[in-house]
Chain A
């Protein structure tokens, strides 16, 4: 009985302590970045006002001008998804537990992929803009690096999740490494591959909206351009186009998924 009481008291103390730490952290945060609460909450209606007054109504006069950026963005997405899915597939087979040829290869690739993934996408894009100059090339390469970091990890996880028994059965017949891959692993991994690749395509569309901000092409460049010129009604049009594009791509990939899986 006493023990139970003690545990309950300890739990309560722990809860109080975490609450205290939480409040302290909040106060420190507000102080550290000189966060002005009053100004912030006053800013919210101003922001909404900005959104609904300065941006409305969308300026639809030159819709034809946006066709090219939209096509660019879609083409970016396709090319980057295909290339990164091929590269990530090879890496994933080399770094998944059950298919890695050697533990050293696995660990080395894992750290490289983790590095690629954890350096923010916009940083990659900016560095690539410095390397290749403004244009489509840095955009494509930034998307590919994003895709490799993202897909290699997810592919490797799907490969690790597959049923061991089929692999063992094929191994027992004396199959070579490549035969094992082809007969036992790839058929099981296929649905995961298709699903993640489609998801990657969705992500590239979102990401290429951002790429334009650093001068790497796509529809994002239109957002930056119109905002820099304070043509907010045009920005509203571009953002609307972007939303529609993202929703359409999500719809299509969802349909493909339903058909295939």
Chain B
């Protein structure tokens, strides 16, 4: 006799999950009317485009690198400004440090809304308001980065900072004492790790943002694509890939070291 060892309800629920996935998938796939001939046409074009991609040229490398630096700088500046803004606002929002419940609630709602709008849309709006260029990039990035940092900062303040905040409060410390002598010193390393992580995300995003007109290497990539210049495009993609790859390694190392330090 077979003895079932898995949890029945879990199994049943999981079956439901897959059933619904398939039931949703089939009508959606038909709804989109993907045409086979379009697909084959596209695939037929692949060898030709690959051939064009492989004309490796180092000609555009200097321009690519300068624009890459611009991208990095846009990310850097927007992260710096966001750190200041979010440090200010997080302590007004976090449950354990909020001076006023109502203001905290209102700010929280705004942060949720800001976070929901994708970064690209923010940048698009900033470009429409400020015109093309890196300043629009910094402005557009400011909103998503700040809201991301506020969300992670407040979570940390409420989670790990609680004890020191309570201790200072019990001693009769004022709000300033709570923030500057309690929360910030305890959370210093965690905040730095979050900022490093955020910087990594932001750099990845600035590359994209150039493509909607906010300066940096994305502008070049967009130009290459629209003029079908695949050789420099490959170079650009490689530059982006290597940068993001190195950044991933570095931030992982920083986070690891900070985690070790904190222990």
Contact = CB atoms under 8 A, between A and B. Distances in A.
Interface centre among A120, A122, A239, A242, by most chain B C-beta atoms within 10 angstroms, is A120
Contact of B225 (A25, A118, A126): A126
Interface stretch (B31-39, B163-171, B251-259): B31-39
B38 A119 contact: no
Interface centre among A40, A121, A135, by most chain B C-beta atoms within 10 angstroms, is A40
A118 B236 CA distance: 12
Interface centre among B10, B28, B70, by most chain A C-beta atoms within 10 angstroms, is B28
A25 B75 CA distance: 13
Nearest to A250: B116
A75 B32 contact: yes
Contacts of B222: 126
A33 B208 contact: no
A1 to B, nearest CB: 24
Interface residues of A, number: 63
Nearest to B49: A131
A206 interface: yes
Interface stretch (A46-54, A99-107, A156-164, A171-179): A46-54
Interface string B119-155: 0110011101110001100110000000000000000
Given A36-B135, A40-B139, A47-B139, A243 B225 contact: no
B76 A120 contact: no
Interface in B220-257: 221-222, 225, 228, 233, 237, 240-241, 244-245, 248
A115 interface: yes
B58 interface: no
B80 to A, nearest CB: 7
A259 B13 CA distance: 8
A114 interface: yes
A126 B244 CA distance: 19
Given A120-B207, A260-B14, A82 B240 contact: no
B77 A75 contact: no
B263 interface: no
Contact of A75 (B28, B74, B218): B28
A43 to B, nearest CB: 5
A252 B46 CA distance: 39
A24 B78 CA distance: 16
Interface centre among B46, B118, B138, by most chain A C-beta atoms within 10 angstroms, is B118
Interface class of chain A by DSSP? helix
Contacts of A82: 21-22, 24-25
Interface in B31-76: 31-35, 38-39, 41-42, 45-46, 49, 69-70, 73-74, 76
Nearest to A43: B130
Contacts of B212: 213
B221 A242 contact: no
A118 B28 contact: no
A35 B204 CA distance: 21
B221 A78 contact: no
Contacts of A223: 121, 124
6 contacts: A47-B139, A50-B125, A122-B208, A130-B225, A210-B118, A239-B121
Interface of A: 25-26, 29-30, 32-33, 35-36, 39-40, 43-44, 46-47, 50-51, 71-72, 74-76, 78-79, 82, 114-115, 118-123, 126-128, 130-133, 135-137, 140, 187, 190, 194, 206-207, 209-210, 213-214, 223-224, 227, 239, 242-243, 246-247, 256, 259-260
Given A26-B77, A123-B207, A214-B211, 10 more contacts: A30-B77, A35-B138, A50-B129, A51-B129, A118-B248, A120-B240, A122-B120, A122-B208, A140-B32, A243-B116
